[in-house]
Amino acid sequence: MNTKEYIQNLRDELREHNYNYYVLDNPTISDFDFDSKLKELQDLEAKHPEFYDANSPSLRVGGEVTKNFNTVVHEHRMYSLDNSYSLEDLQDWEARIKKMVDGPIQYTCELKYDGASISLTYENGSLLRAVTRGDGMQGDEVTANIKTIKSVPLQLKGSYPAKFDIRGEIVLPFEGFNKMNEERIDIGEEPYRNPRNTASGSLKLQDSAEVAKRPLECLLYNITGDNLGIATQMESLEKARQMGFKVPEAAKLANSIDQVLAFVNYWDTERHNLPYETDGVVVKVNDLQQQEELGYTAKAPRWAMAYKFKAEQVSTRLNSISYQVGRTGAITPVANLEPVELAGTTVKRASLHNSDQIEKLDVRVGDEVFVEKGGEIIPKIIAVDFTKRPSDSQPTQYITHCPECNTPLERLEGEAKHFCPNYTGCKPQIVGRIQHYISRKAMDIEGLGGETVALLVSAGLITNYADLYTLTKEQVMPLERMAEKSAENLVNGIAASKQIPFERVLFALGIRYVGETVAKKLAKHYKSIDAIAKASQEELVNVDEIGIKIAESVLAFFASEENIHTIEKLRSFGVQLEVSAEKLANQTNKLENQIFVVSGVFETVSRTELKKLIEDNGGKVSSSISAKTSFIVAGDKMGPSKKAKAEKLGVPLITEQEFLQKVL
């Protein structure tokens, strides 16, 4: 067996194991063995770039960065669905369609998963592109991000049409969502609001490696295209399963609206045992020929109807309103409720979001309030039962001072929340900033968790993150649940963080609006903390992706004497406050203000290495061709559509060797 055949066999084997694990939920190999085979494939592909495959299992880890998501027109429009909320609505719908088609009508009943709609296009069995629903006519291409989702097949199984679209929902299972929120709470960040919005937001993250870290799944329900050889919706679901897609098993065939309603009633209760968020049932005419006859209105197919579950609501008493302080000083009002059962859990608290929401609902302590689980996860107060309001009720007066340090609150123009400005003396802010500093994506300090940070602050051992580097084993050992070994690990973990590169240190500082991506941009542009501190607002705004809001926040951070003092302490302890000399040695400005698109298979260096060379020499890498593109680095097997677009826009194509001559 030659190398090419061996690589292909390894890819096929990994695809099968991936299908067994993520689609069938029936793994036939250990995680260790899978990882070993994947590492072997990655090594072989690195040595043999001539056998590059855009849909190789090795590429699911992400790494491609998309700055601007291409707008793509859907070849087949993605319609929305009409909604119904009662048996009468369904019966009226049935009466309408029976007037339009002859013969008996069967219905498929499918659960309506609440996620982000997606359209996947396959050509010759390979994933060609993935596009969000958008406005139904056109959406954003998010192929790089979708490829990281393990339940999306990159190469199909069995037989399949030459080209087709398949539609579905990108969902975030409750278990994964809760785990993500636990991690955010641990580092002092606000938890995500609900799985649906988090799944939707994931699709537009610029770094596909970040998407790969999220436990997203793709549930498919509709095949669209020409000459598919499929007669019914139920047949299409089974065909999709055979091709390797994850298709929910709950779908059922019904011969009457009464049977549809039985399906609805069953799942209205049973849905709480599902691992995903659901908000109703989609009922479709099963026969595709009948669907074609029924056609579409301006907005929706006549052959389908979404029956929406009523959101579970309960009423309970609002006992009090408390106020929480986040690490940025933002104040969040929280309703403390008389405990009540809702959607299988006991609800004691609900978010009131901000003062505007309290005023809008006219919520008062002592009120009987209606509580609903928004997205089935976070309880929210949706209304007040004014008929039960006590006669001596008084309007809620939003607090004017911080509940932790009694500092007068501020509310900036355009901001929804109030803030405590006591940056250096408000304990929740101090603890929150340090928890952010030690978090996995920042300094990743091993042996130190959020609870321990709170204990260290309470014990007076630290007042900011720079103080961490003064801690000794003897100081931390007396803390609760701290043995000698764990104390030693904590101190060693803090010492090891001095090697964390500058871009992550910059993120760890907790400058408002400076997330991971912005920190990387600033670090790359300015190279050191001192250069950023000296930059003007005009200079900052000229940096790629830095707006006025971020620039103002950076200026405010470095205007604080306390922050400057903390940075000087970090410097004295050896924390990395500039880009390393080794990294600088490999960087130039040869390609400054030039935008490159990399396409095809390359011989001398890999695509990843090419992109790194572009960025290390001051250029920008784009995933899509536009009039702003400076050059396309064209390798073997470059797509004909990209070549045609380049010619149309007059963008020059250069070979791999011509590019290397520019930078080497």
Question: Which residues are marked as active site?
Answer: 112
Residue 297, phi then psi, degrees to nearest 5: -85, -170
Side-by-side strand order, sheet with 83-84: 83-84, 304-308, 278-285, 107-113, 252-254
Residue 123, phi then psi, degrees to nearest 5: -135, 125
Distances (CA, A) of 291 to 97, 120, 284, 478: 10, 22, 8, 72
**3-state SS string over 610-662?**
HHHHHHHCCCEEECCCCCCCCEEEECECCCHHHHHHHHHHCCCEECHHHHHHH
Query: What single letter denotes the amino acid at residue 435?
Result: Q
DSSP summary character for residue 276 = S
Region of 277 please: left (phi>0), alpha (psi -120 to 50) or beta: beta
Alpha-carbon span 138 to 134, nearest angstrom: 6
For the chain, state the CA radius of gyration: 28
Other CB atoms closer than 10 Å to residue 161's CB: what's the count?
19
Of 268, 220, 302, the residue nearest 85 (C-alpha): 268
Of 461, 442, 424, 467, the residue nearest 572 (C-alpha): 467
223 CB-contact burial (10 Å; exposed 0-12 / middle 13-18 / buried 19+)? buried
Sign of CA dihedral 72, 136, 67, 58: negative
Query: What single letter denotes the amino acid at residue 660?
Result: L
Name the 3-class secondary structure at 518.
helix
Of 169, 206, 212, 176, the residue nearest 192 (C-alpha): 176
90 CB-contact burial (10 Å; exposed 0-12 / middle 13-18 / buried 19+)? buried
Of 234, 54, 240, 79, the residue nearest 164 (C-alpha): 240
User: Residue written as tokens 């695809």?
Assistant: 15
DSSP summary character for residue 220 = E
Q: Which helix (H) or strand (E) holds 84?
A: strand 83-84
Name the 3-class secondary structure at 487.
helix
Confirm if 234 and 86 have CB atoms less than 8 A apart: no
Confirm if 223 and 119 have CB atoms less than 8 A apart: no
Confirm if 306 and 84 have CB atoms less than 8 A apart: yes
Residue 191, phi then psi, degrees to nearest 5: -70, 155
Confirm if 67 and 206 have CB atoms less than 8 A apart: yes
Query: What single letter denotes the amino acid at residue 93?
Result: W
Residue 55, phi then psi, degrees to nearest 5: -110, 25
Alpha-carbon span 290 to 284, nearest angstrom: 10
Of 49, 195, 65, the residue nearest 602 (C-alpha): 49
Q: What's the CA angle centered on 586, arms 582 and 587, to 5 degrees?
A: 115
